[in-house]
Amino acid sequence: MKKKITVLPGDGIGPEVVQSAVNVLDTVADQFGHEFEYSYAKIGGVAIDEENSPLPSETVRVCKESDGILLGAVGGPKWDTLPGDMRPEKGLLGIRKELNLFANLRPVTAFDSLIEASTLRKEVVKGVDLMILRELTSGLYFGEPKERREENGEQVVVDTLYYKRSEIERIIKQAFELARVRRKKVTSVDKANVLESSRVWREVAEEVGKQYPDIELEHMLVDNAAMQLIRDPKQFDVLVTENMFGDILSDEASMLTGSLGMLPSASIGSTGPGLYEPVHGSAPDIAGQGKANPLATIASVAMMLKYSFGLSKEAEVVDKAVSTVLEQGYRTGDIAAEGETTLSTTEMTEKVIAAMTNQAKVTN
Ligand code: NAD
């Protein structure tokens, strides 16, 4: 298989973790006889510095021509004081919108070998395997008007929670499709006791659910969902929700596993390339020191192999290699317990590649 991959390293630790993921992709290509062709482009702070825009048009063009996009992270203190339109995050929001990436998938898996890293009790976290599906291109973050204005001599401020029925429908459908290949349960999260948009969301979920009689559908209010995620996260399989609710719940869920450095994500649309990136940011505090945990970015390319290229076997090899290195006790600083030896970004990557090579030897 021949695939074109756009690589957007971005800022801070972005370039370091992206290099690790590219090395892993090269190993997959070697092992399975695929050909991955990489095009590098700029996004975020580095693009502001060099092209005076967080999302240069050339970057959008290269992304649109590819089969999958790998992103590191954007942002850092250097750009924190720039005006809104010139902020690195604008690059990220912009590329999601340009490519119509309406579904953000965040798997949260508790690795047995890292269970001690969670702030929650072992028995609560052990066995957690859930997927948060967040609507990404509409809702409260994009609705208009979004403004400050004056009313009767006083400042008022408005944000708008706007959804087209079709936008709700496609994300809910995606949730059911995902549940079908998982444990067959969808939890649709809303605030239907207060918000009209949520009442329509619930109606659409019911309607779409009728097309999936094999999947269990439950509705949950967002405040309860926030509580249940901490109380009993194992009850969830696929959790689907509006843009802002998803933003908050997915960060909350990420802490179940104990480290940001372990969490991959995918943003996909109906057609065109998907965008794959770690959940963490650019970690300016450790950038350039070789300390970054590359596993979230490596797990993100496993998602690319599975969801954009349909290469499930290859994705499994990568995921299994990540579990193996953790079981073998290898740790980067962010997931090490006190007194444990820590590996650098490149050393950890080499361990993952060695585990992939060992798997290939065993199967051959
Ligand atoms: P962050 O995720 O960058 O870092 C939070 C903490 O986690 C830091 O202590 C960092 O060292 C640690 N950490 C994160 N990833 C790690 C990894 N792979 N290995 C080891 N440790 C890791 O969040 P922040 O500090 O709030 O934000 C820093 C910058 O990143 C900001 O400019 C923010 O806007 C940006 N950001 C970008 C994205 C993105 O590009 N998707 C997401 C979140 C934040």
Nearest-CA residue for atom 43 of ligand 1: 281
112 is catalytic: no
Q: Provide the pLDDT for residue 213.
A: 98
Same fold, 1-109+257-364 and 129-136+161-255: no
pLDDT of residue 85: 81
Tell me the DSSP string of 171-199. HHHHHHHHHHTTTSEEEEEE-TTT-HHHH
Which numbered atom of ligand 1 lies nearest the CA of 294? 18
Ligand 1 atom nearest the C-alpha of 278 is: 41
* 49 counts as catalytic: no
- State the pLDDT confidence band at 7, using cuts at 50, 70 and 90: very high
Q: Where are the domains of the chain?
A: 1-109+257-364, 129-136+161-255
Amino acid at 357: T
pLDDT one-digit tens code per residue, 81-104:
998 788 999 999 899 989 999 999
What residues contact residue 322 under an 8 Å CB cut-off, 6+ apart?
295, 298, 299, 302, 352
- DSSP 3-state assignment of 264? strand
Q: What is the rounded average pLDDT for all residues in the chain?
A: 95
| Bond from prior residue into 145 cis (ω within 30 degrees of 0) | yes
CATH 3.40.50.2300 for domain 129-136+161-255, yes or no, is yes
Please, what CATH class does the domain formed by 1-109+257-364 belong to?
A: alpha beta
pLDDT digits (tens, 9 = 90+) for 175-222: 999 999 899 999 999 999 999 999 999 999 999 999 999 999 999 999
In percent, how much of the chain has pLDDT > 90? 87
223: phi then psi, degrees, rounded to nearest 5: -65, -40
Instruction: Give the active site residue among 30, 80, 112, 223.
Output: 223
Inform me whether the pLDDT recorded for 294 exceeds 70. yes
The confidence score (pLDDT) of residue 150 equals 97
Stretch 45-49: mean pLDDT, rounded?
97
* Confidence tier at 133 by pLDDT (50, 70, 90): very high
Are 54 and 96 in contact, with CB atoms under 8 Å apart? no
Q: Is the pLDDT of residue 20 over 80?
A: yes
- Output the residue whose Cα is nearest ligand 1's atom 30: 281
pLDDT, one tens digit per residue, over 332-353 is 999 888 888 999 999 999 999 9
Residue 101: per-residue pLDDT: 95
pLDDT of residue 364: 64
Is the full-model pTM beyond 0.75? Answer: yes
For ligand 1, residues with CB inside 6 Å are: 13, 17, 73-76, 89, 92, 260-261, 277, 280-286, 292-293, 296, 334
Residue closest via CA to ligand 1's atom 27 equals: 281
